[in-house]
Amino acid sequence: MRISIIGGGPAGLYFAILAKKNFPNWIIEVAERNGPNDTFGWGVVFSDRTLQYLEEYDKISHDEIVRQFETWENVDVVHCDERVTIGGNKFSGISRLVMLNILQARCEELGVSIQYHKEITDLNAVKTSDLIIVADGVNSIIRRSYPSYFEPELSSRSNKYIWFGTHKLFHALTLTFRENEAGVFASHSYKFNKTTSTFVVECDPETWEKAGFASMTEDETRAYLEKVFEKDLSGNPLLSNRSMWINFLLVKNRHWVHDNIVIMGDAAHTAHFSIGSGTKLALEDAIALFKELKTEPEVKLALVNYESNRKPKVEEYQQFAYDSLVLFENLPRYMDLTPLEMAYKMMTRSKKLTHEKLRQRDPEFVANYEKVVLASK
Ligand SMILES: Cc1cc2nc3c(=O)[nH]c(=O)nc-3n(C[C@H](O)[C@H](O)[C@H](O)COP(=O)(O)OP(=O)(O)OC[C@H]3O[C@@H](n4cnc5c(N)ncnc54)[C@H](O)[C@@H]3O)c2cc1C
């Protein structure tokens, strides 16, 4: 069996690892348009559940990832200069580049061929393969070039966001809300190694316009946001790595499979970064596809099974993420909430976490909310 994978991100590389490890005779080629160290972005987030899967499916890369990541137990919500801490939320962060380097090394150890600086824009380049995996990320060229195969539904959302790093260590997943003369800003921050945190800033289009970001340089943007989050950064600068404002692209595809071609990871679906799940979904796609190919040797049938089993799960997750996205898009209307109310709103924003489930995670927080907020209504 010859498999061509377009895109050496977490989805493509992790599938390659699982497939080659279990089927050493398969020829697996990954085409990656960048070099092995070219990626940008800061830390990515995993839930405990995802880590369990990684341990189950490839302990070697799991152990290496665990050696390099940072974990936290809490979500902190900072609003009106007050911090509310909610326990029982275990997550881990790792540098995107470190994680990719681990997956790349594991691929090479197993005999997967990764061809760097090779861009594939035409499926004819891989047409002799038995299975073609399209894992070329959120702006997938293949998805765009073959719309009739996948029937993409794309929606560019209204809020603007920008990824930064900082040496200020956020020991919890910290959601911070700040207001100035231009409007409301939210930051999502978490540590991902011993010295660095991811710091994503998000704001609505009106705030963005009023602040004048359209005519600011990268340095001016950083300086402006360092001022907005002055109290939170404790004097640490924001670190830019080709950081630029973007609009979140919500990606769905009506079909994930066409003949012997399957689309996965961000190319197939995105979920708002506020629930920290892009990498998680990409890795879990890879596991799900591998499982189908393991039980069904006929490629086309395995792909049909993959689509019918995996797609509903991802769509359910996308719905949770959508609820979260909408809340952040409407943030100005929640700025009058007290810090405790805001914390509760944030925790229950995706409807996945009900009041009772939240109580299981942090009984003290829920008891306090019931006493202070619910009892006064
Ligand atoms: C630059 C960047 C920075 C990010 N930073 C963060 C972060 O800090 N925190 C976080 O939680 N999430 C971050 N994310 C989101 C998260 O990493 C993604 O949700 C996750 O990586 C999705 O995995 P994937 O394998 O589907 O796609 P990607 O990780 O996007 O990988 C796709 C790969 O395909 C390659 N490629 C694209 N087109 C072609 C082509 N035509 N031919 C060959 N190769 C191609 C790309 O170079 C890329 O390596 C970031 C994503 C990106 C793209």
Question: DSSP assignment of 34-56, as one string?
Answer: S-TT-----EEEEEHHHHHHHHH
**Which helix (DSSP H) or strand (DSSP E) does residue 72 occupy?**
strand 70-72
Gap between the Cα atoms of 127 and 282, Å rounded = 24
CB 279 within 8 A of CB 291: no
**Which helix (DSSP H) or strand (DSSP E) does residue 16 occupy?**
helix 10-22
Q: What is the CB < 6 Å shell around ligand 1?
A: 6-12, 31-34, 39-45, 96, 119-121, 135-138, 141, 163, 198, 265-267, 273, 276, 278-279, 282
Q: What is the chain's pLDDT, residue by residue, as a tens digit (377 residues)? A: 999 999 999 999 999 999 999 999 999 999 999 999 987 778 988 888 899 999 999 999 999 999 998 998 999 999 999 999 999 988 899 999 999 999 999 999 999 999 999 999 999 999 999 999 999 999 999 999 999 999 999 999 999 999 999 999 999 999 999 999 999 999 999 999 999 999 999 999 999 999 999 999 999 999 999 999 999 999 999 999 889 999 999 999 999 999 999 999 999 999 998 887 899 999 999 999 999 999 999 999 999 999 999 999 999 999 989 999 999 999 999 999 999 999 999 999 877 789 999 999 999 999 999 999 887 77
Distance of CA 194 to the CA centre of its chain: 21
Position 340 scores a pLDDT of 96
Among residues 266, 270, 8, which one has the least CA distance to residue 16?
Answer: 8
Angle in degrees, CA 174, 285, 121, rounded to 5: 105
Gap between the Cα atoms of 100 and 41, Å rounded = 12
One-character DSSP codes across 133-145? EE---TT-HHHHH
CA-12 nearest atom, ligand 1: 25
CB 204 within 8 A of CB 290: no
CA-32 nearest atom, ligand 1: 44
Position 308 scores a pLDDT of 98
Please state the domain extents for the chain.
2-66+92-155+249-328
Phi then psi for residue 204, to 5 deg, are -80, 165
Q: Which of 140, 275, 279, 317 to mutate to test the pocket of ligand 1 (most atoms within 8 A of CB)?
A: 279
Gap between the Cα atoms of 197 and 310, Å rounded = 32
CA-31 nearest atom, ligand 1: 43
pLDDT tens figures, 51-60 = 999 999 999 9
CA of 63 to the centre of ligand 1 (A): 22
Gap between the Cα atoms of 15 and 289, Å rounded = 8
Position 162 scores a pLDDT of 96
Gap between the Cα atoms of 346 and 349, Å rounded = 5
CA of 265 to the centre of ligand 1 (A): 9
CB neighbours of residue 90 within 10 Å? 15
pLDDT tens figures, 58-82 = 999 999 999 998 998 999 999 999 9
CA of 98 to the centre of ligand 1 (A): 13
Residue nearest (by alpha carbon) to ligand 1 atom 10: 44
Long-range contacts of 333-340 (CB under 8 A, 24+ apart): 335/177, 335/179, 335/184, 337/79, 338/79, 338/80, 338/373, 339/77, 339/78, 339/79, 339/80, 339/82, 339/83, 339/84, 340/84, 340/368, 340/369, 340/372, 340/373
Residue nearest (by alpha carbon) to ligand 1 atom 3: 41
Backbone CA torsion sign across 355, 360, 365, 369: positive
Residue nearest (by alpha carbon) to ligand 1 atom 9: 44
CA-268 nearest atom, ligand 1: 26
- Helix/strand number for the chain, H first, E second: 14, 17
CA of 138 to the centre of ligand 1 (A): 7
3-state secondary structure labels for all residues of 172-229: CEEEEEEECCCCEEEEEEEECCCCCEEEEEEECHHHHHHHCHHHCCHHHHHHHHHHHC
Among residues 116, 62, 49, which one has the least CA distance to residue 94?
Answer: 62
CA-200 nearest atom, ligand 1: 8
CA of 367 to the centre of ligand 1 (A): 41
Gap between the Cα atoms of 35 and 118, Å rounded = 9
CA of 339 to the centre of ligand 1 (A): 35
Gap between the Cα atoms of 274 and 266, Å rounded = 15
Position 351 scores a pLDDT of 78
Domain covering 2-66+92-155+249-328: architecture: 3-Layer(bba) Sandwich (3.50)
